[in-house]
Amino acid sequence: MDYQNLLVGDRGAVRQITINRPDKLNALNLQTLQELDAAFRAAREDAAVRVIVLAGAGEKAFVAGADIAELATLSPVQAQAFSRVGQNLMRGIERSAKPVIARIQGFALGGGMELAMSCHLRIAADRARLGQPEINLGVIPGFGGTQRLTRLAGRAAALELCLLGTPIDAARGQALGLLTRVVAADELDEEVQGIADQLAAAAPVALAGILDAVTLGADCAMDPALEFETQAFALCCSTADMREGTQAFLQKRKAVFSGG
């Protein structure tokens, strides 16, 4: 597919999807959301892809938010549809059976923060800034921000970020559990690539089982969540990768996982 607002490329089993609107600080308009949905669907369906990295072009921003020029023109009905497009995209990322890493080099604000929170791992430069400033526009987060913030950082932090609209720095974001790791800006690519390569070498069925158990289990009571974990564990034990992993351990060698 030819994308107008994305760059898509592979490095081995790692696919990188880059939002390429640096002149707009990679702001999310409807076309970009639709292209992201198509790109993530393609990555999930490609058996050669084991890990997905999501990035923003340029040095200033991962994604600085929704495209305000487009947002300002929406009717209530159009706004509802726009919100649902964003929510469906981000729910699809969150439910991906392949790990998704957000590479955050600068601003992740509004829709950009919501997009980052839908990823499984968030690796940020120490100069990154995070926030939900929608209150300053007279609206609320519309792509899941109120809900994922509450689940990741707790009610108090979610209310602070959404009610005040004041961005926070990367160190505070990590302390709140919004960022997985924070590194110096010149170490960001090396850190992201190292994590992506480690995940790409792991057993895909086990990765998918962990992602499902954590994501779905968080929305369940304990007993059904534990049962889901049991079933995912049992499924892993039916795979060639499980046999390879256990034999490699016993033989004191590095496992090579085929995905079978």
Looking at residue 109, its pLDDT comes to 98
Q: 131 to each of 49, 208, 260, how far by Cα in Å? A: 31, 29, 41
Instruction: Look up the domain containing 35 and give its range.
Output: 6-200
Kindly report, residue by residue over 138-159, the tens digit of the pLDDT: 999 999 999 999 999 999 999 9
SS3 19: strand
Q: Write the CATH number for 240.
A: 1.10.12
Catalytic residues: 114, 134
Same-domain pairing of 239 and 122: no
Backbone angle region of 225, left / alpha / beta, with phi > 0 → left and psi within -120 to 50 → alpha: alpha
Q: Please state, for a pLDDT cut of 70, what percent of the chain lies above it.
A: 100
Q: Is residue 79 part of a domain?
A: yes
Same-domain pairing of 21 and 100: yes
Average pLDDT on 179-191 reads: 98
Looking at every residue in the chain, the average pLDDT score rounds to 96
Strand intervals (E) in 133-233: 168-169, 181-183
Distance CA 175, CA 173 (A): 5
Instruction: Judge whether residue 219 has pLDDT over 90.
Output: no
Number of domains in the chain: 2
Same-domain pairing of 141 and 236: no
Distance CA 13, CA 201 (A): 9
Q: Is residue 18 part of a domain?
A: yes
Closest CA to 144 of 72, 134, 212: 134
Q: Write the CATH number for 29.
A: 3.90.226.10
Looking at residue 260, its pLDDT comes to 85
Q: Is residue 255 part of a domain?
A: no
Kindly report, residue by residue over 21-71, the tens digit of the pLDDT: 999 999 999 999 999 999 999 999 999 999 999 999 999 999 999 999 999
Q: Is residue 185 part of a domain?
A: yes
Kindly report, residue by residue over 83-103, the tens digit of the pLDDT: 999 999 999 999 999 999 999
- Cβ(133)–Cβ(147) under 8 Å? no
Same-domain pairing of 167 and 48: yes
Same-domain pairing of 179 and 219: no
Average pLDDT on 101-117 reads: 98
Looking at residue 36, its pLDDT comes to 98
Same-domain pairing of 13 and 80: yes
Same-domain pairing of 113 and 32: yes
Same-domain pairing of 56 and 127: yes
